[in-house]
Structure 1
Amino acid sequence: MSALVSRMLVTIALLCGVLPAHATPQVFLVQNSGWMEPFYADPQSRFKPLVTELALAVAQPGDALVLAAFNQSLPGAPSPKALMSAKVGEGTRAQVTKALAGLDTARKPGGALADTDLGEAVSAAMTQALGGKDGIVWLVTNNRNSPNNDQATAQRNREFYELIHRGGAIRTALAFPLRMQVQGEHYRANGLMVYAFAIGPTGAQALERLLASGSIAKIITEPPARLKPLDRNTVRLVPRKVEDAPGVSFTMAPNGVLRADVASGAVSPSAKIGWHIENTMYPYTIASATLSARSKLGGEDRPVTLGGTRVTALAPGKPQPLASTLQLPVAQLPSQWSMAAIKSAGSAYVLPGTIEVHLAAQKLNLSGAFRERMAALFPGDPLPDIFIPPAQVQASTAVLPIEVRVHYGMAPLLALGGGVLALLAAGGAAAYAWMRPQRAYVTVEDELRTMHARAGAIQPIYDKAGNEVARLKTTLFGHQLTDLREGAQVRLGR
């Protein structure tokens, strides 16, 4: 590895080390071996603008963006060769454009056009550019893998296959076959391949966000071919109708969560649901698989009864109907007079859970249409082995998030509010009665006296000579004489 490349990689590592927590390092590997000659030589080529726009679409402000050219590393001709590394900001477009402007097909030290090693480039990006950290590696190539001009491309593709499918670091692998007709002095080409490799869990999450946001689709309108994973999130369920469950309805939220809206008075212990089961593994057809499903709701783990336990010839974009009976956690739902219901009055009480669909004895076939497309884009090349499903992928699981949402009316809250108001009114009345002075008539030695006192007060009563002869005790319910001296002429009233 040259000193220049070493310095660039050190710069990249330092740059990645100071990124904000949300940033995702992205490495773009652009092939410039001899096989790529027409993409550089054709004056009508859209190759460099494609790389520029894709990089700017997927790299978010604050991300570390690394751009490198690759072919095959030889003494005196290192590969990959860093072209730029920067933190994405206002000047990124100019940096990328300048870095690609001077890029051309590479030659070996002896003068011959350089060969290609896809595996070497991806490995270097993971271990050197990313330094073993999470991120996304983009590989832009004509899909010809021929180190040392080796014509045994199938074997080279197999090595590339092993890196992708056997390597634990690559969590997600996607391929975008693109049509791009170019003519050079030595070669012509019909197509280009863009690979996206998500490294580590953070890289996988970042790639998933890019797909969901449509950032990639703005530049590449073709659907991505999924290479990995093929053992999870392989199908999805879309509700069609609900039967025999009054007060229960199902909808699919924009974020992919299935919502079961349940009226507070619904008591049905189960719901018959008609689904569409869809294959999400383009370009593979699920030739056959055995289906089973379970629901996990409210702490209950129960099997979902399916109308059919096998699926055959399930192609992407061609959903098949599937009936099921789902057990609803009625016993776990709070009563409308519970504190949980009162707190949720006017909104919904949400009980989260999942439905897991398991596919066993899974057999995948690459669709004929995709094979034809690959043959048209890369004529004469054998279909890369990376598109052949791994033999060990014979089962998969799809997890569908679900929310049981119980809608409570305002009656419990209004009743509670009315009770509180009544208590407050009673308390207010009692407080007023307690604080309001009460009038009492007392006759002492035939002399009528008028006394005023608040509830709880005790007042002395004196005769005409000034001697204390009794005490007046006032309560909420009236007055009474206490400590009456023997022989004293004192009485309540006139």
Structure 2
Amino acid sequence: MLTQLAAGAALLCPCLPAQAVSHVFLVQNSGWMEPFYADPASQFKPLVTELAAAVTQPGDRMVLAAFNQSLPGAPSPKALMSARVAEGAVRAQVRDALAGLQPARKPGSSALADTDLGEAVQAAIGTALGGKPGLVWLVTNNRNSPHNDQATARRNREFYQLIHQGGGIAAALAYPLKMPVEGTHFRADGLMLYVFAVGEQGARELDALLAAGRIAHVITEPPARLKPLDRATVRLVPRKVENAPGVSFSMAPDGMLRADVAPDANAPAAKIGWNLENTMYPYTIASATLAARSVLGFDTRDIRLDDASIRNLAPGHSEPLASVMQLPVAQLPGKWSLDAIRSAGSAFVLPGRIELQLSGQRLELSQTFRRRMEALFPGDPLPDIFVPPADIRGSRAVLPIEVRVHYGMAPLAALMGGALALTAALGAAAYAYARPRKAYLTVDGEPRTMMARAGTTQPVYDKAGAQLAQLKTTIFGHQLTGLREGAQVRLGR
């Protein structure tokens, strides 16, 4: 049934470099899509062409396939091209592959082909990608009607069960697009683009595409999130900090929260005002209970929230949230510590995170999105089932944080000054120890001068060569030892 797609997909199965990403583009060509092919003003094929050029990079593997519903003698999906992406070649390749594509007809009949969205997605994941990570792009008019089944609500529900319950799909987005077209048999107002990230590597690649704005180069509409709905559902943005002299908060361009702490700050806690933003378009958080904690170094502490609940927070909207957060004062090194000395002129960084848990979460499809879907797909019951699974009753958001203590150069300068002084003192001591010294003696009534270094012991002789004593020299002076009985020897003149 999937022979032709499998033949093209075979190029995706060998081991690829770790950075290579696989893309499968599924383009619907069933009867319901007739106006998108027939209308001379249709932007359907140019959209697919520009999308493929925007999201792929040289070295990626990609398959472009048309799909409707598989029947004996008419396999679906059907590969139109399969290649490794080359620099500057994708646009022309996709344009040429789509040029002759027209709505398919059933084998041995003039009737236009039906549609099976689930079949197409399963084939892309299981056959084209071979169960490996990648991205599946599905372009459809959103009419899921195998065998011309008019129970579209049930068929759409089956499709969304595949999305939410399919273990291979780690993330999914939907882009409802306005595209009015008119053909011989039908007219349509909208088109739907889905992207399914297969595996965690696929999810990371999708996140990278979104962060880089590469999809937004072609599609300016915000994506509707289908999956996951249990993490990164809200965002915390700091507004102000109170009762914490020497502490300030800011957001880094990469989304990291930074707490800059003066080295002499000793406030045990800070009152922080946040903006809590719903990032889960197109869902309104109708209600949820909040709990938060901070994890800094080896220290985990609860964050006290003034209001531990959310009510009717629409997507893209925010509401103020006040909190009291314990600061890790005891864990921060003192200005004279080794860590502080090492960080002089820069910052000592203590990494951590703020965790926000939403429990008892109840989501509702936003009315704005519902009206948009009804306008683009009139008569389609999809908005009624475009809802998260009932078992998703909670979510978790994590905000990375860095506590940064800025140490000046004074401790390091003082340490370097002390080290220089110690070095000088040691040098002076070494010189004093090694320098020869004069020792004045009187031997048998005659003055005598001897040269001696600290740490040495020398014999003292009389005129006949007999040893009378020993001269011991230290850094503190000289002394006579081993004096022979009756010898006339003394220090000095």
* TM class by smaller structure: over 0.9
- Consecutive unaligned residues of structure 1, counting only runs of 5 or more, are none
CA distance in 2, matches of 1:96, 1:431: 82
State the distance in 1 between where 2:439 and 2:55 align.
88
Distance 1:293 1:40 in 2: 52
Shift of 1:2: 5.6
Q: Which residue of 2 aligns with 1:38?
A: 35
Q: Which residue of 1 aligns with 2:136?
A: 137
**TM-score, structure 2 length as denominator?**
0.95
Residues 355-364 or 443-452, more deviating:
443-452
2:13 counterpart SS class = helix
Kindly provide the amino acid, as one letter, of the partner of residue 8 in structure 1. G
Alpha carbons 1:283, 1:366 under 8 Å: kept: yes
Equivalent in the alignment of 2:386: 387
Q: Extract unaligned runs of 5+ from structure 2.
A: none
Q: Distance in 2 between matches of 1:465 and 1:358?
A: 101
State the match for 2:332 in structure 1: 333
Instruction: Please list the CA deviations of residues 232-265 of structure 1 after superposition, one character each: whole Å capped at 9, or x if unmatched.
Output: 1111111111111211111111111211222122
Match of 2:246 in 1: 247
Match of 2:11 in 1: 11
Which moved further from structure 2: 258-267 or 1-10?
1-10
Specify the alignment match of 2:77 in structure 1.
Answer: 80
Indicate the residue corresponding to 2:102 in structure 1. 104
Number of paired residues?
A: 491
- Does the Cα contact within 8 Å between 1:138 and 1:197 map onto a contact in 2? yes
Q: Which residue of 2 aligns with 1:361?
A: 360
Q: Deviations over 1:93-131 (max 9, x none)?
A: 332232222322222212321111110011111111111
Using the TM superposition, name which of 381-390 and 194-203 deviates more: 381-390
Alpha-carbon separation, structure 2, partners of 1:289 and 1:20 = 43
Conservation of the 8 A alpha-carbon contact between 1:86 and 1:92: no
Q: Structure 1 312/484 Cα, relative in aligned 2: closer, same or farther at 3 Å?
A: same
Matched, 1:123 2:114: no
Question: In structure 2, do the counterparts of structure 1 residues 449 and 229 end up closer, same or farther at CA, with 3 Å as the change threshold?
Answer: same
Task: Please give the alpha-carbon distance, in whole angstroms, between the structure 2 residues aligned to 1:22 and 1:6.
Answer: 23
Q: Is the 8 A contact 1:154 1:384 kept in 2?
A: no
Tell me how far apart the structure 1 counterparts of residues 119 and 3 of structure 2 sit (CA, whole Å).
19
Tell me the residue number matched to 2:470. 471
Percent identity among equivalent residues? 71
Determine the structure 1 residue equivalent to 2:398. Answer: 399
| Alpha-carbon distance in 1 for matches of 2:6, 2:246 | 66
Tell me: CA distance 1:237–1:6, structure 2 relative to 1, closer, same or farther (3 Å).
closer
Check the 8 A contact 2:295/2:352 in 1, yes or no: yes
Q: Secondary structure at the match of 2:106?
A: coil
Give yes or no for contact 1:25–1:135 (8 Å, CA) kept in 2: yes
* Range with greater deviation from structure 2 (324-333 or 148-157): 324-333
Aligned pairs for 1:408-487 within 5 A: 408-487=407-486
Q: Secondary structure at the match of 2:267?
A: coil
| Letter in structure 2 aligned against 1:264 | P
Q: Is the 8 A contact 2:22 2:135 kept in 1?
A: yes
For residue 185 of structure 1, what is the aligned residue in structure 2?
A: 184
User: In structure 1, what residue type is equivalent to 2:204?
Assistant: Q
The 2-side partners of 1:101 and 1:191 are apart by 21
Does the C-alpha gap of structure 1 residues 213 and 108 become closer, same or farther in structure 2, counting only changes over 3 Å? same
Aligned equivalents of 1:471, 1:103: Cα separation in 2: 114
Show the counterpart of 2:225. 226
Paired residue secondary structure (2:320): strand
For the residues of structure 2 that align with 1:226 and 1:388, how far apart are their CA atoms?
10
Name the residue aligned to 1:293.
292
Residue type of the partner of 2:103? Answer: T
Native 8 Å contact 1:157 1:384 kept in 2: no
Give SS of 1:470's match: strand
Q: Secondary structure at the match of 1:304?
A: strand
Q: Distance between the aligned counterparts of 2:252 and 2:482, measured in 1?
A: 78
Secondary structure (helix, strand or coil) at the match of 1:374 reads: helix
Give 2:64's match in structure 1, choosing from 67, 76, 85. Answer: 67
Alpha-carbon displacement from aligned partner over 1:196-239 (angstroms, at most 9, x marks no partner): 11111111111111111111111111110011111111111111
Contact 2:173 2:195 in 1 (8 A): yes
1:160-171 residue pairs with structure 2 within 5 A? 160-171=159-170
2: distance between equivalents of 1:217 and 1:269? 44
Deviation sequence 1:128-174 (CA, Å, 0-9, x none): 11111111111111111111111111111011011011112211110
Q: CA deviation at 1:447?
A: 4.0
Over aligned residue pairs, what C-alpha RMSD do you find? 1.9
* Aligned partner letter, 1:268: A
Distance 1:390 1:42, change over 3 A: same
Change (3 A) 1:312 1:418: same
How far apart in 1 are the matches of 2:420 and 2:243?
Answer: 42
Rounded to whole Å, the distance in 1 between the matches of 2:448 and 2:58 is 90
- The code of the aligned residue for 1:294 comes to R
Judge conservation of contact 2:2–2:76 (CA < 8 Å) in 1.
Answer: no
Moved more, 220-229 or 457-466: 457-466
Tell me which residue corresponds to 1:94: 92
Q: 1:6 to 1:204 in 2, by over 3 A?
A: closer
The verdict on how the C-alpha distance between 1:64 and 1:386 changes in structure 2, with shifts beyond 3 A counting, is farther
Q: Would you say 1:315 and 2:300 are equivalent positions?
A: no
Contact kept, 8 Å, 2:11 with 2:83, in 1: the verdict is: no
In 1, Cα distance between equivalents of 2:60 and 2:135: 11
Deviates more, 1:69-78 or 1:302-311: 302-311
Alpha-carbon shift at residue 283 of structure 1 (Å): 0.8
Q: Output the amino acid matched with 2:481.
A: T
Instruction: Map 1:190-205; keep pairs closer than 5 Å.
Output: 190-205=189-204
Tell me if the contact between 1:158 and 1:385 (Cα under 8 Å) persists in the aligned partners. no
Secondary structure of the residue aligned to 2:59 is coil
Question: 1:238 aligns to what?
Answer: 237
Distance change >3 Å, CA 409–CA 2, structure 1 → 2: closer
- Which has the higher mean CA deviation after the structures are superposed, 355-364 or 280-289? 355-364
TM-score, with structure 1 as normaliser: 0.94
